[in-house]
Amino acid sequence: MNNPLGPQPLRLGVNIDHVATIRNARGGGFPDPVRAAKLAEDAGCDGITAHLREDRRHISDGDIERLIDQLKVPLNFEMAATDEMLDIALEHKPHAACLVPEKREERTTEGGLDAAGGHNHLKPYIDALNNAGIRVSLFVEPDPRQLDAAVSLGAPVVELHTGAYCDARQVTREAQLERIIVAAVHAGDLGLECHAGHGLTFDTVAPVASLPQIAELNIGHFLVGEAIFGGLDSAIRRMRALMDKARADSTNQRSA
């Protein structure tokens, strides 16, 4: 069953982790990720994403507290399924929590969560977050098996990992995009809210944004990098415009 109400509006969540990465390179207080989050709000984002890692390599506990206090848009709290992170989520009650795999040695979140193989480990965390009224999403590979597992775990949202699509060379990118299309349709059929993100840029965002099942894109590293050249405000506005155009074009094509 694909969404009977037709295509959903596409939200942009801005991930501010790497503003904190730059701050932490010098150990001081700037650039401040909370200032970046407020600027992102003013530039028209629909939500802020922040990943509190076990090693606190970018976002800190204090950043999460200030985001909760100061944001007007919803906070999507990215977290590993650990007791420490669950306690922090339950203390702050963000709008949403996105469960991600976390390896200490990785540079970024490499690959999705094994929702299928990790059922017994994940289930109590998902139950506790659901019971607290926090909207749970699972960051998974665009693999229908993982979406079936999200349903059996009781997670209402999945976020499809777009890293392999973004990293692929042109020849193999089509095949990676096809995986995302198949997964987005399957998510719609299962009644899951479908998000996507990781590695998206001005060049790669449109084909993903055009998929009617996708309700939200979460984008960080590229926007923070672009901010060096033209400012964060302009990078976010351009990304938003590309997303909106891709979505409008695909809606028009389908209704023509």
Residue span binding ligand PXP (CB under 6 A) among the ranges 115-123, 168-176, 179-187, 198-206:
198-206
Residue span binding ligand PXP (CB under 6 A) among the ranges 84-92, 192-200, 227-235, 241-249:
192-200
Note whether 114 binds ligand PXP by CB under 6 A.
no
Q: Which of 23, 51, 53, 247 binds ligand PXP (CB under 6 A)?
A: 51
Note whether 197 binds ligand PXP by CB under 6 A.
yes
- Cβ atoms < 10 Å from Cβ of 26: 9
- What are the structure tokens assigned to 82, written together? 């650990």
Q: How far is the CB of 15 from ligand PXP (least distance, A)?
A: 4
Total interface residues for ligand PXP by CB under 6 A:
19
Note whether 143 binds ligand PXP by CB under 6 A.
no
Note whether 213 binds ligand PXP by CB under 6 A.
no
Note whether 204 binds ligand PXP by CB under 6 A.
no
Q: 186 catalytic, yes or no?
A: no
Q: How far is the CB of 220 from ligand PXP (least distance, A)?
A: 3
Q: 65 catalytic, yes or no?
A: no
Q: 51 catalytic, yes or no?
A: yes
Our CB check for ligand PXP shows the closer of 82 and 108 to be: 108
Q: Which of 41, 46, 63, 78 binds ligand PXP (CB under 6 A)?
A: 78
Site residues, ligand PXP (CB under 6 A): 15, 17, 51, 78, 98, 100, 108-109, 139, 159, 197-200, 218-222
